A and B are shown apart, each in its own frame.
Chain A
Amino acid sequence: MTDTIRPGGLWVYCERGGGGVRPVAFELLGQAARLAKAMGCPVTAALVGNPEGAESLARYGADAVLCAACDADQPDELVQAGALAALVEKYRPAALLLGATAFGRSLAPRLAARLNTGLTADCTGLDVDPETGLLLQTRPAFGGNLMATIVCPDRRPQMATVRPKVFPVPAPDMTRSCPVIVEQSPAAESAVELIERIASGGGVNIGDADVLVSVGQGIGGAENIALAEKLAKKLGGALSASRPLVDAGALPYARQVGQTGKTVSPRLYIALGISGAIQHMAGVAAQTIVAVNTDPDAPIFRYAQYAVRCDCGAFLREMMERIGN
C-alpha cells in the first residue's frame, strides 16, 4: 500500500479552512497530475488533521492521500510545519506544492526553513524541465514588472506556493479512488492561541471571487461605488478597489487589490476608473479584464481585453438597466 508513496513523488498540501478543503488544493492536484506525468511519479495529497473524507481527493488527481493525524482543529503554522516535516522526512517527496493562501504563505516558509530547502512564493506558472526533470516555478516579481522562472536544483523537496485560481479546478473523476495512509504526527504544542475569528469586508474574500467589479479614483463618488456593488452582486461577484480609494477610507483594506493589498484571480475583472498602475496590476491575474475609463491613455487599457472609454457612472447605469433590477 505504501508503495504509492515511494520517494520522489509530487505532493500537494491540502489546506482545510472555510468549511472544507480550500479549492486551491483541487487546482493544484489537477496541475500535479499533469506535472507528475512529466516527472514520472505519483501524486500524493498531504494533509494535517482528520483523514475523514480524504479519499475523495483522488477524484481531482491524487494517487494517494497521506494524512498527519493530529487533533489540532485550528490552522497553526508551528503544529502543521512539524507534522508535515515529519511526513517529508519519512517519505522524501521530490516536490511539494502549497496554495498561496494567507495561511499557506505563512506555513510554507516555516516548513522550508525547517527542511532547509528552497521555496518559491506565489507562483503563477509551473512546468517540468524536460532535460533535468526540475520543477520550473514561474512568478511575478518587482510588482509584476518581471516574470522570473526559479528552480531548486539540489535540495528536496522543491517547494512552491501557488496563487489560487490561476489554474482551473479539474472536473472530478468520480470513478477514481486511492489509498489513505494515516501517520500519527509528533506532539507539538501550539504557541499561538486563537481568541476569536472576525469576518470582515462583509465576510467576502475578494481572492475567492469569480467576478470582481473593482473601483478606482475615477469612479466618481459614493453613489457610483454603491452602483458598482449592485452590479457586482448581480454578476455573482464582489466589489473590490484600488489603493487610493482604500487609503481615502471609501472601502476597507480587505477589499484592496494590488501589490500592497490582495492578489485576485477572477474569471472576470471589471475595472472602473482604475488607471492600471503596475502596483495595482501586480495583484490581478484575471482571465478577462474590462477597463472602463475616460482617459484614453490609462495604462489599464494595455492589460484589458475590452476597453470602454466612458464615464463610470453612465456606464454603470446602462449596465444595470440591461442586466439589473
Chain B
Amino acid sequence: MKIIVCVKQVPASNETRLDPVTHTIIREGAEAILNPFDAFAVEEAVRLKARYGGSVSALTMGIPASATMLRRVIAVGADEAILLTDRAFAGSDTLATARTLACAVKKAGLPDLILCGRMATDGDTAQVGPMLAENLGLPHVSDAAQIESIEGGALTARRLTDDGYARVRVKLPTLITVLKEINVPRLPSIAGILRGEEAKITVWNHGDLGLDPEETGLKGSATRVVKTARPDLSVKAEIISGAPGEQAAALIERLAAKRLIETEGRA
C-alpha cells in the first residue's frame, strides 16, 4: 500500500511576525516545528505501513529550511520525502496550497491513501485536506479518531462528528485527516535520525509540477487578508473577593442579574 502523508512546518510559537503589506506570515528566521497534528498523521502512516506493508512518502510545501522537518519525518519511519519550494508558492491560501499539493501528488503517482493532520496550528483552517481530496477526485473522511482496518479496497474509520462519533467505510484511494487522539507519536531512534540525515530529499518547483505561476502562491489565491489586529486583552475583570462563601454569593448575584443563571428565587 502506498501512503502519502502531507505535513507542514509551522511557527513554534503563536507569536508570529507578519508581512505588513500582504499580511502573510514571515517564515524566514522564525523557529519552526512540524505541525503538531501532522505528527499524528505521520505516526498513523508508519503504523499502517507496519500492518499492511508498502511505503510512506512525506510531502510538504514550504521554505527550503522545511527539509530539516522532512528529515525528522524520515527519522520516525517515512521512506522518502518531497519538498515543494519556490518563491512562486509564497503566500498561497488554502485553495492555492491544495492545488499545488494536488499537482505534486499526481506527479508522485496517486497513492492508495493520503493522510493529513486535521489542521495546522498557524492557520487553524482544516481546509487543505478536503480541498486536496476534491482536487484529486477522491472521497475524504475528516477528523478520524481511529483507523480500524483496511480490507478489500476499503478503509474503516471512526470519525468525530457533532453528535459523537461515526464509524464509516470509505473506498480506496481516499484522503483521511486525523485527530490527535488517533495515536501517540513515537520518538525517533538514533538509527532513524541518521537515516533522516542521510536521506535525499526530492525538491520540486512550479516548473517541475507544470504549474502556471499565476495558479499558485499569492497570485493563485482567491482570498486576501486585508487587516490583522491583536485581540483586545485589556478587559479588566471584576475581582470578587472575600471568603469562599461570600465570593460564591456575590458571583451568583451578578450572574443572576445578567440572566446567565437561574437562581430559583434564592439570590
Residues of A within 8 A of B (CB): 17-18, 22, 77-78, 81, 101-103, 105-110, 112-114, 116-122, 136, 140-155, 191-201, 203, 205, 207, 211, 235-236, 253-254, 259-260, 267-268, 278-279, 282, 287-288, 290-291, 301-311, 314-315, 317-319, 321-323
Contacts and interface: CB of A to CB of B under 8 A. Distances in A.
A268 B255 contact: yes
Interface in B127-144: 127-131, 133-135, 139-143
Interface in B238-267: 238-241, 244-245, 247-249, 251-252, 254-255, 258, 260-264, 266
B16 interface: yes
A117 B223 CA distance: 8
B261 A144 contact: no
* Overall SS of chain A's interface: mixed
B222 interface: yes
Interface stretch (B45-53, B73-81, B160-168, B189-197): B160-168
A293 to B, nearest CB: 11
A268 B168 CA distance: 35
Contacts of A17: 162-163
Contact of A259 (B124, B170, B244, B263): B124
Given A192-B141, A309-B239, A148 B227 contact: yes
When A and B form their complex, which 10 residue pairs have the shortest distance between CB atoms, in order from nearest? Answer: A118-B222, A191-B139, A318-B248, A121-B125, A118-B223, A307-B237, A113-B134, A109-B130, A109-B127, A149-B227
Nearest to A145: B14
Given A143-B121, A150-B226, A113 B95 contact: yes
Given A106-B143, A113-B98, A113-B131, A101 B162 contact: yes
A143 to B, nearest CB: 4
A109 B162 contact: no
Interface in B164-186: 164-171, 174, 179-181
Nearest to A164: B162
Contacts of A260: 36-37, 121, 180
A191 B163 contact: no
Contacts of B258: 288
A122 B163 CA distance: 19
Contacts of B15: 142, 145
Contacts of B179: 253
B125 A122 contact: yes
Greatest chain A CB density within 10 A among B94, B124, B181 is at B124
B231 A319 contact: no
A139 to B, nearest CB: 8
* Overall SS of chain B's interface: mixed
A291 B237 contact: yes
A281 to B, nearest CB: 9
Nearest to B163: A18
Given A146-B228, A291-B237, A318-B247, A195 B167 contact: yes
A147 B131 CA distance: 24
B221 interface: yes
Contacts of A309: 239, 241
B248 A197 contact: no
21 contacts: A18-B162, A81-B134, A103-B161, A109-B126, A110-B130, A110-B131, A113-B130, A119-B223, A146-B229, A153-B224, A154-B222, A194-B167, A199-B164, A260-B180, A268-B261, A279-B14, A290-B255, A291-B237, A303-B233, A306-B240, A318-B249
B94 A119 contact: yes
Contacts of A77: 130, 139-140
Given A118-B222, A141-B124, A306-B238, A200 B16 contact: no
Greatest chain B CB density within 10 A among A81, A146, A267, A304 is at A146
Interface string B98-128: 1000000000000000000000011111111
A102 B160 CA distance: 8
A203 B163 CA distance: 7
B241 to A, nearest CB: 7
Contacts of B125: 109, 121-122
Nearest to B11: A142
A147 B225 CA distance: 10
A134 to B, nearest CB: 9
B145 interface: yes
Contact of A144 (B11, B126, B163, B231): B231
B93 A205 contact: no
Nearest to A311: B244
A151 B223 contact: yes
B266 A136 contact: no
B87 interface: no
A198 B167 contact: yes
